[in-house]
Amino acid sequence: MSAFNYGIPATESIVGSINSDVTRFVDDVCDIVEIDFIDVLSPSRQRHVVDLRHLLMYIMRHDFEMHFHEIGRFMQRHHATAIHANNKISGLLEINQITLFFGTYLQAAQTVYQSHWGRNLKIFEDVIRQENLR
């Protein structure tokens, strides 16, 4: 008799094939901005690391269409952290307050995403749309 598990599915079934794409994306972005991927996964609260971590979580949610618990597991965080990151970046976009760090990180993420998948990040298109509205 096998037991049925109501908990979170195994990593392979959560992230599946997207795991390698997300890992490659995050690793390439970290290389460009010269922040170690290990630092992004670490408990570091240095502003530049936190900003990059939050932006990457937002991109995972909107461009890779990952669920919050998937993002949390991937980034070695609780799903509530992924929700907070999503809300934080969404709030900054609404009031058009993308800081210098975010702008630099967003450009790096856009470059990597464009080179791998041949299209723009959704957040990048939103920022450009806001700039054109000014």
Looking at residue 16, its pLDDT comes to 47
Find the domain containing 107 and state its range. 15-133
Nearest 5 degrees, angle CA 47-CA 39-CA 28? 100
Question: Would you say 62 and 122 are in contact if contact means Cβ atoms under 8 Å apart?
Answer: yes
Domain count, the chain: 1
Residue 59 backbone dihedrals phi, psi, to 5 degrees: -65, -40
Amino acid at 91: G
Q: What is the pLDDT of residue 127?
A: 73
Is residue 108 in a domain?
yes
Whether the predicted pLDDT of 109 surpasses 60: yes
* Token reading at 21: 């794409």
How many percent of the chain have pLDDT more than 90?
63
**pTM, 2 dp:** 0.81
For residue 3, tell me if it sits in a domain.
no
The model's pLDDT over 72-97, given as tens digits with 9 standing for 90+, comes to: 999 999 999 999 999 999 988 877 77
Q: Span 40-59, mean pLDDT?
A: 94
Q: Tell me whether residue 122 is in a domain.
A: yes
- The verdict on residue 2 lying in a domain is no
CATH number at residue 61: 1.10.1750.10
The fraction of the chain above a pLDDT of 70, given in percent, is: 80
SS3 of 64, please? coil
- For the segment 107-131, the average pLDDT, to the nearest whole number, is 87
Contact 103, 51 (CB under 8 A): no
